[in-house]
Structure 1
Amino acid sequence: MDIAKDLALIDLLCAQEFPSEHERYHTAWLGPGDWPDVGDCYAYEAAIAERLTQRWGEAFRWGTVTLEERMARGEAIPEPWMALTALTIDVRTWVAPESGRHVTVAVADREDESRPRIRADVTETAPP
């Protein structure tokens, strides 16, 4: 577990071009793939969030339940927000002032059969 490396990865994603005209986001998994203890995953996510808050100010924190309801009514939700809705309930989002991109960090913990993981997304698309 190396917070400095994961923060550098987020910085890299903020600076990189997007893969295509239609795919306007980057996604990365932070921390180890398999946490020794589930609580460690949440603590690591909080540590990443604390450092991003020191850089960019308080995160916009929101739940994905509203997006899930909107999708159920047939509304199109853009990526990466649709994927985040399927993977997590609680999301933190900052706007990186250098790039103007939205940076999201969340624990993907909605899949009962898998252990939680930390996902980072960088996009130009504001949360819907």
Structure 2
Amino acid sequence: MDIAKDLALIDALCARDFPSEHERYHIAWLGPGDWPDVSDCYAYEAALVELFTQRWGAAERWGTVTLEERITRGEAIPEPWLSLTASAIDVRTWEVPDSIRRLTLAVADREDESRPRIWAAVTEADPP
């Protein structure tokens, strides 16, 4: 686990151009992906949250239940929020200073709780 490497990746994603005018986001998986213990994943997420909070202030924290309900009703939810809702229950979002971008961090633990992963997205789109 190399937190410095993941911080550098997030910095690069915050600065990088988006793939196209229709794909206005970057998604990355952080950490090793194969955690020795499930609790290690959540501890790593907590360390990342602490570092981003030191950098950019307190995150907005919200659950994806409302988005999930809107999807169920047939509402179109844009990416990366659609993918986030499918994989995570709880997220944190920071506004990137001097930018219109935001970083969203979550543990993707909705599908298989025995193998959670840390999901990060950089986008210009506010949560719907």
CA contact (8 A) 2:109 2:117 kept: yes
Q: Which residue number corresponds to residue 103 of structure 1?
A: 103
CA contact (8 A) 1:105 1:121 kept: yes
Amino acid aligned to 1:90:
D
CA contact (8 A) 2:38 2:114 kept: no
Structure 2 gap segments, 5+ residues each: none
Cα RMSD between the aligned structures?
Answer: 1.0
Q: Which residue number corresponds to residue 92 of structure 1?
A: 92
Amino acid aligned to 1:72:
T
Q: Structure 1 vs Structure 2: percent identity of aligned residues?
A: 78
Aligned pairs, number: 128
SS in 1 for 2:122: strand
SS in 2 for 1:111: coil
1:98 Cα offset (Å): 2.8
Structure 1 gap segments, 5+ residues each: none
1:2 Cα offset (Å): 1.0
The TM-score with structure 1 as length reference comes to 0.97
* Partner Cα distance (1:106, 1:10) in 2: 14
Q: Deviations over 1:17-73 (max 9, x none)?
A: 000110000001100020000000000001001000001000000000000001111
